[in-house]
Amino acid sequence: MVVKDNIDVAGMPTTSGSAIFKNHTPQRSASAIARLSDAGAVILGKVNLHELCFGITSNNAVFGPVRNPYAPTHIAGGSSGGTAAAIAAGLAPVGIGSDTGGSLRIPAALCGVVGFRPTTGRWPSDGVVKISTTRDTLGPMGRTVADCALLDAVVCDTPALDTVSLAGLRMGVPRALFWQHLDPEVQRASDSVLAILKAAGVVLVECDIGIDEQACTHAGMVVAMYESLACLESYMHSHQLPFDAAKLTALIASPDVRGIFQSLLSTDAPDANTYDKAVHVQRDAVRQAYADCFAQHRIEAVLFPTTPLPAAPIGQDDTVMLAGQTVPTFSAYTRNTAPGSFAGQPGISIPMGCNAQGLPMGLALDGPAHSDRRLLAVAQAIEAALRHALGPMPRAPERFK
């Protein structure tokens, strides 16, 4: 397996994609990695990421961009782009990444693999350069749902998945929140998936989660920004590394990430009251909205396109074209994955084929908190139905392996 380079592996450098950690080689593995190693996993190496995890393109100014194996002039997604690209290119069957607002599922969708975000707190989080203690989690990627379920079972010591029948399975379709303003080919592929699932016996339930997407995204960003410097300081102190926020900011090479850190050192940084409201009021409201939706509609999970658009060309870090409009790149790609992440719920992305240009697209499922193994079992059943109807996911072109 491969490991995202913000996660400690004993004897291997942890750079978090930044010159801040030049020559930093931890002597202990993160607990999640240690459990996998003890079970027999072979760590092939560390993989690239968006610098310090603060982005979704993995266009890294220190080590270079992560390239999408299906189209090397396009992004792999982020921030766990290297993990997804390595699996898609056939370098490793599985890998570990981390997810704050979509960083496991976005690159999985754009690279045609499976990415699973566990319920926040399910996986141990020590030995990781984090953005947020409240929001971050480690998680697996693989070629199939079974790959991800295996790694989750080892780390969390859980039993094998149950077999799930799609006949009569109730799945929510929150159109108002996740199905608007999609790339036309993503829209067509997603509609085709609904037809396939309905034919397989799935009961598709139109539902409204009832949250304000923009307010939810803003609150989530407040939490991440407020906690990020403290997380960096905590990690560095645990490794006896000196911490000076201003000096470290000067070492950040990626312009978008350096701009974020500069804002954290200014009066624009979130204050304690705003943070407190985001964590204890707004996050609780989002969690309750999800819980109410699952309970009232008696649904296993909600499903939607993982990202509203496929992989953009490398270099479009600020804006992209989506459905004929120029929109911010970060918010475009995180739009559908951010709310469930903020609530801390499990989510998974599985492939749903490629567009006319050969770029992969992903289908996401978000489940109730702590329904991880059930969500994986449901995703495995849906994956089988899609493969039966659509055929196996095309391999990345051989010349890029």
- Alpha helical stretches, state H, 241-328: 245-251, 255-264, 272-277, 283-297
Q: Identify the residue whose tokens are 């801390």.
A: 344
Q: How far apart are CA 158 and CA 146, in angstroms?
A: 14
- Based on the residue annotation, tell me whether 79 is a catalytic residue of this protein: yes
- Based on the residue annotation, tell me whether 277 is a catalytic residue of this protein: no
**79 prior amide bond cis, ω within 30:** yes
3-state secondary structure of 390: helix
- Based on the residue annotation, tell me whether 4 is a catalytic residue of this protein: yes
Residues 6+ positions from 365 with CB-CB distance below 8 Å: 171, 301, 302, 303, 347, 348, 350, 375, 378, 379, 382
Q: Are 101 and 116 in contact (CB under 8 A)?
A: no
User: Which of 56, 54, 51, 97 has the alpha carbon at shortest distance from 332?
Assistant: 56
Catalytic residue among 4, 46, 125, 341: 4
Give the CA distances from residue 139 to residues 106, 149, 190, in Å, rounded to whole numbers and listed in that order: 13, 10, 25
Catalytic residue among 29, 58, 80, 103: 103
DSSP 8: -
Catalytic residue among 18, 79, 98, 190: 79
Q: Mind telling me the catalytic residues?
A: 4, 79, 103
